[in-house]
Structure 1
Amino acid sequence: MTTAAPDDPSQPPPPRTLEVIAWVLLAAGAMVLLLRYGDLGEVPTHFGASGEPDDWGPRWALLVLLALWVGLLAGTTLLARRPQWHSYPREVTDQNRAVLHLESSRMMSWTGVGLSTVFLGIVLGATSSASASPSQSTGLAISCAGLVLVLAAPVVGIVRMLRVG
């Protein structure tokens, strides 16, 4: 595998672009939470298989969720920027180091996008449950899409690293 020109549209987005997307998703979720926070009473803390809330807790639990979200995203961002800390599924040589580091950074950045998508869906579902709006099912769908990203990112990343020549 060779590295393509940075403006090659057939290549996946660079890690920094993905990091920006993840942090924008976090900012959007934080805005939704802060705008709706005053109107919230108890919020759902667990959803059953049907997508309906089956446990409730205080609204400040969402602030704990937001803090966890910031911490996890900061961690994935840090790891994406430090590929030399990663373990690789193949030997790192002078010839493949740059490509392996790029692919590993991209994998961590996609993981950050997935985590932000999961948390955004949780916030949308939790803040809309009281009003029974369509955002609750939208929140579940967004969370599921984020979970797919979180699970797919390492698989795709490892496959791409194994293909590096």
Structure 2
Amino acid sequence: MAFSFVYLIVNWSTLPETIAIHFNVRGEADGWGSKAFLFFPLMISLVLYIGLTLLRKIPHHFNYMTTITEQNAPYQYKISLELLSWIKLELVVIFGFLQWAIIQDAKGETSIFSISQLPIAFVILLGTIVFYVIKLKK
């Protein structure tokens, strides 16, 4: 997240006032707005990071698929906290990538990555959730 902020600040003066802020499924820009929009993914990432960090402090309040007992509580809490850690990391990376890709597009630079590859990140996020839900059922 710090990298995203620094990258935005370093590139701020070179960005045009109006940038692409929405892309279709092919990765082509189809919506435009102020470069100040680039703070939006950064702020969402920050809120999610803080929220998920705070959520880790109360695993006993989570909804579990099994009844929590003294015997299974340590395992269930451990797996739930691992899931939160992975989700937090993946979301920060997704929003960082989103911001980076928008900046690259605004600068007219191309890369091997494209905004159209964002659905892959969501498949990975969903895969992480499914993996840990299966572990939690044990």
Equivalent residue number for residue 97 of structure 2:
121
Equivalent residue number for residue 30 of structure 1:
5
Q: Does 1:159 align with 2:131?
A: no
Q: How does 1:4-83 map to 2 (within 5 A)?
A: 26-41=1-16, 42-83=18-59
Shift of 1:77: 1.6
> Residue type matched to 2:90 in 1?
G
* Residues 81 and 65 of structure 1, relative CA distance in 2, 3 Å threshold: same
TM-score by length of 2: 0.88
Shift of 1:101: 0.3
CA distance in 1, matches of 2:64, 2:56: 14
Where 1:128 maps in the other structure, the secondary structure is helix
Q: Does 1:112 align with 2:99?
A: no
TM-score by length of 1: 0.75
RMSD over equivalenced CA pairs, Å: 1.8
> Residue type matched to 2:110 in 1?
P
Equivalent residue number for residue 16 of structure 1:
none
CA distance in 2, matches of 1:82, 1:145: 31
Shift of 1:142: 6.5
Shift of 1:143: 3.4
What count of residue pairs does the alignment treat as equivalent? 137
Give deviations 1:68-105, integer Å, cap 9, x for gaps: 21001111122233211211111111011011001001
Q: Which runs of 4+ in 1 moved over 6 A?
A: none
The percentage of aligned residue pairs carrying the same residue is 23
Gap regions ≥5 residues in structure 1: 1-25
Equivalent residue number for residue 11 of structure 1:
none
Gap regions ≥5 residues in structure 2: none
Give deviations 1:85-131, integer Å, cap 9, x for gaps: 21111111101101100100111111111211210111111101123
Say if 2:23 and 2:115, in contact at 8 Å, map to a contact too.
Answer: no
Shift of 1:134: 2.5
Where 1:60 maps in the other structure, the secondary structure is helix
> Residue type matched to 2:84 in 1?
M
Say if 1:43 and 1:57, in contact at 8 Å, map to a contact too.
Answer: yes
Say if 1:43 and 1:130, in contact at 8 Å, map to a contact too.
Answer: yes
